[in-house]
Structure 1
């Protein structure tokens, strides 16, 4: 008898449901994880350590920050504080997904929140909002597929890091390109355009005044607030959103 996995039936059926949505992020992570692994090799990581590190310390941008700051000779407290600030955006992601996690078990909800990243958050939020059949375990499976592709790419990067010279600065732009692709799929009405524009301007302003670590958090928060304000104003008769 086939084992059941909640609302989407067998494990195979659930995987078939989730994998097409995970595939763009999985492929992108395979590309940008390699230069991250190359950087990790420069601070002494081996493939197994990179694999374990990427599966537990799973923050994307924060994982790029660590080897760069170590190579720059930054003090440990400064490095930790920078990574915490860069990763603090995860608080917003958990809050954004919380309304959709009530129907799943607490363990599944915890595991989903613990494995979410920028890109998987965007895909999950879109699925939860637009697909009535998308449940907590679907979201968790998507997160795990993305996480394992990232971890494998980091391990591969460590392996090849000593053998070839890779333009890591250029390849790291792959992370930015993922956000651009996700953003274009979310621009649907006036409020989303306002949120995107305000977020971009706030991040740019923060970086110009030296608030590198808090730029993403402040930009995201400001964009959400302005987007919601625009939506309320439009619905009250201001303009058609």
Structure 2
């Protein structure tokens, strides 16, 4: 008997933190057993696969033969959620930033509101989160860049901590951006008439490993996502 919510954890070379992330998720599920867990190992070249396999059968796993990036890993998770008819799917980062304890708040909100997607936001209200100034500037840029196209102001457009309903799951199973998809799919949501909202959540700094967006890649990320947003809106 499957639970109504599938928590999808995309993981690429996360051997430093994947065990602590899964331990925390499973400890919370022992107290609040309303979700299943799927780890999508995105072609990791370290010990992520072996570490994840040790949690079978407590979690479901998909091991991709090659690294597809965050978009490909998440689309694999949405295809799994769609195939097994989960009511909701949640992205939870493997690096420990997303706090599983905040999931109940998001789940209750989407159930009560009937929104299509709820974003766990660090910036809708004041939280304890402290990020690098360059990252906060980038997030603010995307907030107003997306607002200029859609008229919808999302205060944390790069947050991957999101819960989606069946309609969104089915769409993402069929088509999902390959690189840095979080800002781009907000434009997709607005263009398709989906009802999205934010709810304030607490997040932690990355608990281990290295972000794929650092140093010169920050500028590259902003340029690439900006072009993707323009292209998506012009469809």
Q: TM-score, normalised by structure 1?
A: 0.29
In terms of fraction of residues, the more helix-rich structure is: 1
Q: Tell me which structure has the larger Cα radius of gyration.
A: 1
